[in-house]
Amino acid sequence: MLDLSRKLKDELVIGDDTYQMNVSFNKVLKIMELVNDEQIDEAYKPYLVIQILTGYDFTEALTIEQAVITFKMIFDEHIRILSPKDNVTVYDLAGNEIKTKIRSKSLDNEKRIFSLKYDADYIYSSFLQAYGIDLIDAQNSLHWKKFNALLNGLPSDTKFAEVLKIRSYKPQKGDSAKYKENMRKLQKEYALPKDFDY
């Protein structure tokens, strides 16, 4: 979640050394792909994640345990987006609790209504339509947290918002039989694959 009272400061401190990290959305998507890749040795994944973000190879500098701890710290502080299940209380500058409404990013595939991987076309076109941002041109510069804030704020007239509305549709009292049938067809057309990773 963005904190508008602070600049985004993405640094990795290991001992006395500080490494700048590039936590752009495309790098985080690469990390998600890497973490879900069963062809890559699990012990090597934390090293690759750290290298993707910093540009440095830490295979000689960190033990496996240190690399795993570093990866978890990076994930929690710089990548993870809060979901309603996290029950994290957020306060304003006066110390008052802020009620937040964050789209669910549950890991439960049955409850998720979008995939950053499979909905890439819809997300790309919606960013271009709503913000004039070409996500291909914004690689390595648009921060992951900014990307998520913009994704959550996409207007209802964008293709991505339309797809989410279709996928989350549940018949309501008063919907005509024709409308319900049309929505069922659209839900099949826009359905996510049964097994998707992110």
Which pLDDT score, from 0 to 100, does residue 111 have? 66
**pLDDT single digits (tens) 42-78:** 999 999 999 999 999 999 999 999 999 999 999 999 9
Q: What is the CA radius of gyration of the chain?
A: 19
Cα–Cα distance between 137 and 120 in angstroms, integer?
14
Read off the pTM: 0.79
Helices 64-74 and 45-54, interaxial angle, to 10°?
Answer: 50
CB-CB contact of 72 with 31 (8 Å): no
Tokens of 162: 């339309």
List the chain domain ranges.
11-79, 106-189
CB-CB contact of 75 with 83 (8 Å): no
**pLDDT single digits (tens) 118-169:** 999 999 999 999 999 999 999 999 999 999 999 999 999 999 999 999 999 9
Cα–Cα distance between 78 and 72 in angstroms, integer?
10
Single-letter amino acid, residue 178: K
Phi, psi of 11 (to 5 degrees): -130, 145
Phi, psi of 91 (to 5 degrees): -120, 150
How far is the first Cα of the chain from the last one, in angstroms, to the nearest whole number?
18
Single-letter amino acid, residue 130: A
